Amino acid sequence: MIYSVIGYYSLILGLCFSLILIFFSVRNFNNSKLLDPKILSFTFLQFFFVVISFLSLVLSFVFSDFSNETVFNNSHTTKPLFYKIAGTWGNHEGSLLLWLFVLTLFIFIFLLRSKSQPTKYKILTLVFQQIIIIGFFIFLIKTSNPFNFLFPTPEEGLGLNPILQDPALAIHPPILYLGYVGSSIIFSSALSATSLNLITKTWASHIKKWVLISWIFLTLGILLGSIWAYYELGWGGFWFWDPVENVSLMPWLALTTLLHCILVLEKKLILTSWVIILSIATFTLSMCGTFLVRSGILNSVHTFANDPERGLFILIFLFSLIFLSLFIFFFFYKANKDTPTSFFWLSKEAAIIINNWFMMYFLSVVLIGTVYPIFLDVLSSQKISVGPPFYHKLIIPIIIPFLLMMAIGPKLKWIKSNLEDKIYLFILLVISTLLSFLIVKNFDTNLLVNTILVSSALYLFLITLRDFFIKKYNNISQNIAHFGFSLLILSILLNNFFSTEIITNLKVGETFETENTKIIFEDISQKKEKNYQLITGKFIIQNPGGKIDNLSPELRIYNQPNIVTSEADIKTTIIADKFIVINLVQNQEYFNVRYQVKPFMIWIWLSVLLISFGGLTSLIKKKHEK
């Protein structure tokens, strides 16, 4: 109980320091030669009390303090220590406290790392950030208090959802939130710079680091979530257009576009309005994503209990921030008179703007597919789900010119360019088309469309691969990130073409055989673990060519809460994953067996790591490097 008391009053003190900071910021803004040292001290104290509050919740979970309602609803004495700690943010209240923790950390680091920036700019950024922080404080204390008391104190807790008890998912939310919350600094900074007319090359160089940090963490967070869904949920895939997957993808698309605009603005004073709008959009989408998931509005395995009061607060808070940002943009933004409004059609500027529009199209498709079912449910009480066919039909045709533009765009020059000295672009296109035709012709699919799709992906892959040998260390971060993206798209396409799946019901000792594969259900074993009963199936898989694999998928029957989960067994090689998962067939002796061969899965994960590494290289490279 003592931890809950400390945690709650630390939140109250943190909110008080927010109000104090706004007071001192307004007073210091009029006398802006130097930043008042008290502001930095109070920012640290605010962060300190939020840390105390967060640690209090962690300790409540560690010591199973069931007088705390959040601990009671999301923990159990038999849970391993690691998952007790992870349970801190594996719920609505704790995850919002984690948001607040990172918000206060980032603004403190921002003030420490921005000493060379104009004082008014730093103060105004702090004020905008404190508005967001105050919103989170009020939201936590008023509707989502993680320190509510239960009396009398229960003897045991309800436990954490077993599918959330996984190492990848335990570290997935904190990393994802670092990406989300990083966008808040970009948002506050952009509003501050717009208000003071400071959208310049110098500002772009300053804020680029925050864009890169946010983008890297968001990329890695999405990767961890995708890997977890792949082996934990038994889907056997890396992306299923689940609404919660989509709400993390949308800010990533906006942030990726913003990153490219910032890199251009750093070199040439163009795309200033793009930068401001994307800074606002990225943070808005991050907020929408977090709140939609945590409020339970979206129907997904990731979501939490719905609460109308929370939803109303979310809407009011979001609309207030959007209104504030749009007001500042329309009334304070002044376009530079020297900024060109039109570009030569064959130039790097034109290519960047075209790719921006492609990214905005992809973002719009994902946004409509995610939000439309919510609006339909509200307006007509009809419940629908928008699945992969919707996204594939709208995205796949457009991704072809996008990949071609992504391949050619970086090879163009600023202002005006020509392709007379770029004969290799045509040669590689021919090679890509021929190779793609050879790959696709053996499949019973749309030959023309798939050949064009694979050839565009292969074309980007070959061009980015060539850059490593021709350009060597010139612009190495771009080369790595673009090569990683080309490898990702190519791996996804080949994975889609070459994947195979067998679904059947088997009893122990039975065999299922196809033309190429033989599945033998050899045996099952049972074992008692700390907080679940383990059933392990033993399978022998005879593959083409006589190669034999032994796979052991699991069923886990948890005691609190009483839930059965499936744990896939996956044998990974550089060529393909062998994936098998079992489920109980109700009231029968049979097990439902799902066996898949998923080619190039490891390359999908590695390609995303390469993309992130490209961003990291850009973040740490020396100033004298190009």
**pLDDT at position 455 over 70:** yes
Could you tell me if 219 and 179 are in contact, meaning their C-beta atoms sit under 8 angstroms apart?
yes
Q: Could you tell me what percentage of the chain is helix, strand and coil, using 3-state DSSP and rounding each to the nearest 5? A: 65, 10, 25
Closest CA to 263 of 535, 482, 576: 482
Give percent of the chain with pLDDT exceeding 90: 52
Rounded mean pLDDT of the chain? Answer: 87
The first and second tokens of residue 238, run together, are 């890396």
Structure confidence at residue 445 (pLDDT): 67
Structure confidence at residue 304 (pLDDT): 44
Phi, then psi, of 284 in degrees rounded to 5: -60, -45
Radius of gyration of the chain (CA): 26
Least confident of 198-207, 250-259, 553-562: 553-562
Q: What is the mean pLDDT of residues 547-556?
A: 90
In the structure, what pLDDT confidence band is assigned to residue 602 with cuts at 50, 70 and 90? very high
Closest CA to 541 of 565, 576, 566: 576
Q: Which long-range contacts (CB under 8 A, 24 or more apart) does 446-453 make?
A: 449/396, 450/497, 452/400, 453/396, 453/399, 453/400, 453/493
The per-residue pLDDT for range 13-41, each reduced to its tens digit, is 999 999 999 999 988 887 767 888 899 99
In the structure, what pLDDT confidence band is assigned to residue 308 with cuts at 50, 70 and 90? low
The per-residue pLDDT for range 51-76, each reduced to its tens digit, is 999 999 999 999 989 999 999 988 88
The first and second tokens of residue 147, run together, are 């320190």
Residue in the block written with tokens 């033309």: 515
Report the 3 state secondary structure along 572-619: ECCCEEEEEEEEECCCCCCEEEEEEEEECHHHHHHHHHHHHHHHHHHH
**pLDDT at position 244 over 60:** yes
Structure confidence at residue 191 (pLDDT): 96
The residue type at 229: A
Cα separation of 91 and 99, whole Å? 12
**pLDDT at position 303 over 60:** no
Cα separation of 296 and 561, whole Å? 20
In the structure, what pLDDT confidence band is assigned to residue 419 with cuts at 50, 70 and 90? low
In the structure, what pLDDT confidence band is assigned to residue 625 with cuts at 50, 70 and 90? very low
Closest CA to 236 of 557, 582, 586: 582
In the structure, what pLDDT confidence band is assigned to residue 626 with cuts at 50, 70 and 90? very low
The per-residue pLDDT for range 108-119, each reduced to its tens digit, is 999 999 988 999
